[in-house]
Amino acid sequence: MIRNSESSDRLAIKALTEAIGFEVTEVAQVLLSFDACHKSSNPSSALWFMDDDEGVQGAAYVEPERMADGTYNLLLIAVHPSEQKKGRGTRLIHHIEEQIARNGGRVLIVETMGTDEFAHVRRFYQNLGYAEEAKIRDFYGEGLDKVVYWKKLAQTSQELSRESHITANA
């Protein structure tokens, strides 16, 4: 079941990011973003989604791009190593795309590293219809390029309804 996150998911986010191999400083950055999103005094337009199937198995974090109209950036998607390659990441991405489109979003961008280690991640996005839009050399560090992918989302409820109808009849 994919659901919106709750502030009580903080420990699960920490455990998940540690399980996928994030460094201590990266986990801390993720938790700062999570906490900012869940502060009652400062409601954020960022969205956290949880893949919760008898415990958190995956999570995704997306936020609108500043100074852009209807463009969102997927800043984190994580699936527990024991649950990878079972379709959970695909379901999370589809859920995010639907939620953003329903709220007037038009474009979703995702970023990943351009190293051989991340080739499977780039294929994952390409298989979901994302097009490589940019490469920024040495972004993450010397020899660590950032690769940006782009996808246009269905914009109107009419388009979403038509897509649902086609899928249901397929």
Task: State the CB neighbour count (10 A cutoff) for residue 41.
Answer: 4
Residue 54 lies in a domain: yes
Residue 126 lies in a domain: no
Q: Specify the number of domains making up the chain.
A: 1
Task: List per-block mean pLDDT (blocks of 10 residues) for the chain, which spans 170 residues.
Answer: 93 96 95 89 78 92 94 96 94 96 95 95 97 97 97 68 54
Residue 161 lies in a domain: yes
Q: What is the pTM of this model?
A: 0.84
Residue 120 lies in a domain: no
Residue 114 lies in a domain: no
Range of the domain at 88: 2-106+153-169
Strands 56-64 and 47-52, by their bridges, are antiparallel
Report the pLDDT value the prediction gives residue 156, as an integer from 0 to 100. 47
Q: What is the CATH number of the domain that holds 48?
A: 3.40.630.30
Residue 9 lies in a domain: yes
